C-alpha cells in the first residue's frame, strides 16, 4: 500500500485522562496530511508519539512496517513542535551556518524561499513571530528528511505570507517528502493538504481525501469545515 508510516491501536493516557484512544492510521509516502480538530483533540500528542518524544501506553508506530528506535527515527524524520524556544541571542546567520555545517549547503534554495537573507543580521529575539516561524521551518526542512512533522506551522503569518509558506511546503513535497501537519484552522488545512485526519477528544472521527470525506457525509459541494461539522454531529 506504499505506506511509509503506520499507527496501530495507539493509546496515551495522562493519569486517568485519555489523550489518544486506539489510534490506527496509515500515511502513504508523498502526501501532505492534515491532522485537524479543536484544541485538546490530541493532535500535538499524536505528532510527539510519531516523533518518539512521547511513548504510547499501548500500541505501536511503524516506519516502512518496522519499529524504529528514537535515534533511527531522527535519521528519517524532522519534527517542529508548536513551541520551540530558539536561542534568543543567536543571529539568524549563525543558526544558518550551524545547519549548513551539519547538512551541507543544499538548503540554500530554502533560504531564498523563506526570505531569511533579509534578517541575517538580526538576533532571534529581534524577529517578528512570522520570521521566527520561518527560522523554525528552515531548521525542520533542512537535512532532506523523508517525513516532516509540523505542529501548527502557520501561526504568525498573514494571508500573503501564508501563501508563500504554502508554496515552500508544496515545493518540498514535490521532492518526495511526506508531511504530517497539525492544523487548528480548517481553511488552512484545506488549502495545503491532500489527506485529512479529523480528530476530537483523542479519537479519530474520520480520515481520507477531501473528496472521500465529502462523499461519506453527503456534502459534495461543501468545505472541509462543513464536513467536519457534519462528522461531529
CATH number at residue 214: 3.40.50.300
pLDDT at 1: 52
User: What is the tally of structural domains in the chain?
Assistant: 1
Cell of residue 143, nine digits = 537535512
Question: Going by DSSP bridges, is the β-strand pair 195-200/32-36 parallel, antiparallel, or unpaired?
Answer: parallel
Specify if 194 maps to a domain. Answer: yes
Distance CA 57, CA 134 (A): 34
Which DSSP category does 118 fall into?
G
Q: What sections of the chain are H helices per DSSP? A: 43-51, 70-76, 92-103, 108-114, 129-141, 159-174, 186-192, 210-216, 224-232
Distance CA 35, CA 72 (A): 24
Range of the domain at 158: 3-84+145-232
Distance CA 233, CA 231 (A): 6
pLDDT at 83: 79
Which residue reads 538548503 in cell numbers?
Answer: 107
Distance CA 207, CA 47 (A): 16
pTM score, two decimals?
0.93
Specify if 188 maps to a domain. Answer: yes
pLDDT at 224: 86
- Coil vs helix vs strand at 225: helix
Specify if 216 maps to a domain. Answer: yes
Q: Tens of pLDDT along the chain (233 residues)? A: 578 999 999 999 988 888 999 999 999 999 999 999 888 899 999 999 999 999 999 999 999 999 999 999 999 999 998 877 778 899 999 999 988 888 877 678 888 899 999 999 999 999 998 899 999 999 999 888 999 999 999 888 888 889 999 999 999 999 999 999 999 888 889 999 999 999 999 999 999 999 999 998 888 877 888 888 888 77
Specify if 17 maps to a domain. Answer: yes
Amino acid at each position: 500500500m506504499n505506506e511509509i508510516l503506520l499507527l496501530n491501536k495507539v493509546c496515551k493516557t495522562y493519569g486517568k485522562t485519555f489523550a489518544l484512544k486506539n489510534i490506527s492510521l496509515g500515511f502513504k509516502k508523498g502526501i501532505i496530511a492534515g491532522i485537524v480538530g479543536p484544541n485538546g483533540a490530541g493532535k500535538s500528542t499524536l505528532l510527539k508519539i510519531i516523533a518518539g518524544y512521547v511513548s504510547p501506553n499501548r500500541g505501536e508506530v511503524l516506519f516502512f512496517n518496522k519499529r524504529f528506535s528514537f535515534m533511527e527515527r531522527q535519521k528519517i524524520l524532522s519534527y517542529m513542535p508548536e513551541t520551540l524556544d530558539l536561542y534568543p541571542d543567536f543571529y539568524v546567520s549563525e543558526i544558518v551556518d550551524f545547519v549548513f555545517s551539519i547538512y551541507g549547503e543544499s538548503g540554500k534554495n530554502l533560504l531564498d524561499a523563506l526570505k531569511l537573507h533579509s534578517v541575517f543580521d538580526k538576533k532571534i529575539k529581534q524577529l517578528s513571530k512570522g520570521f521566527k516561524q520561518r527560522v523554525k521551518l528552515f531548521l525542520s526542512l533542512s537535512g532532506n528528511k523523508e517525513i516532516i512533522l509540523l505542529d501548527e506551522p502557520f501561526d504568525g503569518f498573514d494571508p500573503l505570507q501564508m501563501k508563500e509558506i504554502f508554496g515552500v511546503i508544496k515545493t518540498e513535497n514535490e521532492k518526495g517528502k511526506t508531511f504530517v501537519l497539525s492544523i487548528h484552522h480548517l481553511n488552512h488545512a484545506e488549502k495545503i493538504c491532500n489527506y485529512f485526519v479529523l480528530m476530537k477528544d483523542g479519537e479519530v472521527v474520520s480520515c481520507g481525501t477531501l473528496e472521500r470525506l465529502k462523499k461519506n457525509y453527503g456534502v459534495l459541494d461543501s468545505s472541509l469545515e462543513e464536513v467536519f461539522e457534519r462528522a461531529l454531529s
